[in-house]
Amino acid sequence: MNKTVRHLADGREIIYFDEHELAQPREAVDTRDLPAVSAASEIRCDPLTGEWVAMAAHRQTRTYKPPADLCPLCPTRPGKPSEVPEADYDVVVFENRFPSFAKNVSGEATTVDGAGLVQLAPGRGRCEVVCFTSDHERSFGELSAERVRTVVDVWADRTAALSELDGVEQVFPFENRGEEIGVTLHHPHGQIYAYPFVTPRTERMLATAAAYRAEHGRHVMGDVLANEHKAGTRVVAEGRFWTAFVPPAARWPVQVQVVPHRQVADLTELDAAERDDFARVYLQVLRRCDGLYDRPLPYVAGWYQSPRHRDRELSWLHLELFSVLRSRDKLKYLAGSESGMAVWVNDSTPEQIAERLRAAG
């Protein structure tokens, strides 16, 4: 894989990842007249839960559902400049123009109203956009295994690079797909958030893993994985190094975890064979998901990785995909119990979900 680092007109970094040697180097220039990126992100800690919340009011003006011929993620064409100056690309990564977290945010740690109760700090970090293909009409599930493997290498590359930034505590690569999820740009792409704190979900999982290890001497994910292999009723797809299954306490109408058989802390620790096998298994999962209702499934898919500075021995890398679609034309809304109390009610059992996904293959 060839990696080329360039810059956009406003100074943001853009990185091309090419699968094969290029006849011509990546030298296209961004000719747009762009103002400098101005991010005013801040984070505040909820004093009742201890959870950090990001405030990014500047994102109100971000691009919203542009027509396909003006897609900012497609390659640049004559008279139609985009975020990608080149006429074509394999996989490309660039800094988000409307980031939730940014490295140049000013300010110091303090408290709201100076009262000492609610912690407040600059939202320093980084947000990147990852375009999986230059083809506007494709989806991740329609990519070749070779391209998916390239994307895995890109995720690992960016995890390593972003983890080295000052103030970053956790790196989260993810993909949002479908308007029902909230997607406003339909070009196949994902994002990577470099957070200035460890996320609440990760904190909860690490605490659970620590308590389980203290009691049983083993990692809870390892025991969950062994149980899924033994039961088999929730397994959706399986390879030599990965297993995809519906979690035994699934919250969502469609939910799949893709878990490596070997405990690794993050994407950088996967070897070549594991990366190849993930591409095959994950494509099976995505194609079953799209076959479930005979329509493209809206979903969120994200990587659970170790924090940068601690608890790597308690972390077990895995990807989780979920969808809000509970039938072909019905959404699961997060109503009182889910939104108010975080107590989930699922209309299907995990075993039923897995059976439908296997049949969709």
CATH code for position 352: 3.30.428.10
Catalytic center residues: 189
pLDDT band at 60, cuts 50/70/90? Answer: low
Say yes or no: 35 and 63 in one domain: yes
Q: What is the pLDDT of residue 24?
A: 85
Query: DSSP letter at 336?
Result: I
Tell me the mean pLDDT in the region 344-348: 94
What pLDDT does residue 63 have?
65
Same domain, 169 and 289: no
pLDDT tens, 142-194?
999 999 999 999 999 999 999 999 999 999 999 999 999 989 899 999 999 99
3-class DSSP state of 311: coil
Question: CB count, 10 Å around CB of 147?
Answer: 19
Whether residues 216 and 322 share a domain: the answer is yes
In this prediction, residue 65 carries a pLDDT of 67
Point out the domain boundary residue: 198, 232, 250: 198
Which residues touch 334 (CB under 8 Å, ≥6 apart)? none
| pLDDT, tens digit, 9 for 90 and up, residues 247-284 | 999 999 999 999 999 999 999 999 999 999 999 999 99
Kindly state whether residues 166 and 212 are assigned to the same domain.
no
Percentage of residues in the chain having pLDDT higher than 70: 98
| DSSP bridge partners of 303 | 319
- Average pLDDT score over the chain: 95
State the pLDDT confidence band at 229, using cuts at 50, 70 and 90.
Answer: very high
Determine the 3-state secondary structure of 286 from DSSP. Answer: helix
Contact 357, 289 (CB under 8 A): yes
Cβ atoms of residues 98 and 58 within 8 Å: yes
Mean pLDDT of 90-95: 98
**How confident is the model at residue 59, as a pLDDT?**
74
Phi, psi of 226 (to 5 degrees): -65, -40
Enumerate residues 6+ apart whose C-beta is below 8 A from 244: 235, 236, 237, 238, 256, 257, 258, 259, 281, 282, 284, 285
pLDDT at 66 over 90: no
Query: Is residue 74 scored above 90 in pLDDT?
Result: yes
pLDDT at residue 58, rounded to an integer: 73
Select from 170, 198, 226 the last residue of a domain.
Answer: 198
Whether 93 and 17 map to the same domain: the answer is yes
Q: How confident is the model at residue 64 (pLDDT cuts 50, 70, 90)?
A: low
Q: Quick one: pLDDT band at residue 62, thresholds 50, 70, 90?
A: low
Label residue 39 by pLDDT band (50, 70, 90): confident
Give mean pLDDT, residues 34-41. Answer: 86
Whether residue 194 is found in the same domain as residue 205: no
Given pLDDT bands bounded at 50, 70 and 90, which one contains residue 354?
Answer: very high
| Residue with token string 């993810």 | 174
Q: How many domains does the chain have?
A: 2
pLDDT of residue 61: 64
pTM of the model: 0.95
Residues 256 and 325 in one domain: yes
Chain mean position to CA 236: 21
Structure token digits, residue 226:
């062994």
Q: How confident is the model at residue 57 (pLDDT cuts 50, 70, 90)?
A: confident
Same domain, 170 and 30: yes
Same domain? 223 vs 248: yes
One domain, residues 206 and 177: no
Last residue of a domain, which of 198, 233, 266? Answer: 198
d(CA 353, CA 111): 46
Alpha-carbon distances, residue 248 vs 201, 227, 328, 349 (angstroms) = 18, 10, 23, 9
Pairing of the two strands 2-7 and 52-55 = unpaired
Q: Are residues 144 and 209 in the same domain?
A: no
Mean pLDDT, residues 25-46 taken together: 91
Q: Are residues 23 and 164 in the same domain?
A: yes
Q: Find the domain containing 192 and state its range.
A: 2-198
Q: CA 214, CA 210: separation in Å to the nearest integer?
A: 6
